[in-house]
Chains A and B, each alone.
Chain A
């Protein structure tokens, strides 16, 4: 399974866009990029996923570089409730378990 690298922590001002980077330079062609977040010790929450194209939903946007070696999760207008640990996960086409790394601890500040 491809390994991901994320910054340990980031800060963002409330109301501004939060851009969370993820490096997955060893990703293979049939692996998906997933983003989850975990607030305190709650269950991980699905945010978005993509294969090659950029994706957008009601929560966030996912920008995947053309070579697929990195991606960015964008929360367009961060709120205090977006403070959480964000996990970037590379998942094979066959699916199965999710492998959570250490993630990025995002702090949204007033």
Chain B
């Protein structure tokens, strides 16, 4: 089944403890992206990747890192999480970045930083 998977689905952590949220897709997609969703603010893009070893900042990249060493994986790294990073995170992928290619989203990771 073609899908985008994220792990973990739920995570409660403490301020400053490094964490990684994994994202994997099995559709051989070139474009991958991370969004966060907060009440009243909608979904905002954090980082995106056009292809392996090509990443760039989205609208809210502060406090996050990403890497794209393999085509299928695009982990989101929070090196020193803070409470304002408590949010619902979604990974998405598409065949290409172009406007005619739909993006498919993962199930989400709900992160709480205390």
Smallest Cβ-Cβ distance to B43: which chain A residue: A100
Which of A30, A46, A92 contacts B102, CB < 8 Å? A46
**A91 / chain B contacts, CB cutoff of 8 Å:** 99
Are B98 and A46 within 8 A (Cβ)? no
Q: How large is the interface on A (under 10, 10 to 19, 20 to 34, 35 or more residues)?
A: 20 to 34
**A95 / chain B contacts, CB cutoff of 8 Å:** 31, 94, 96-101
B23 to A: closest C-beta gap in Å? 11
Smallest Cβ-Cβ distance to B48: which chain A residue: A97
Count chain B residues whose beta carbon lies closer than 8 angstroms to a beta carbon of A. Answer: 29
Docked CA distance A94–B48 (Å): 14
The stretch among A3-11, A12-20, A37-45, A69-77 that forms the contact with chain B is A37-45
**B85 / chain A contacts, CB cutoff of 8 Å:** none
List 7 A-B pairs, minimum CB-CB distance, nearest first. A43-B105, A95-B99, A97-B45, A95-B98, A100-B43, A95-B97, A93-B99
Q: Besides the contacts A94-B99, A95-B96, A102-B42, what 7 more A-B pairs have beta carbons closer than 8 Å?
A: A31-B99, A43-B90, A43-B106, A46-B104, A51-B100, A94-B97, A96-B97
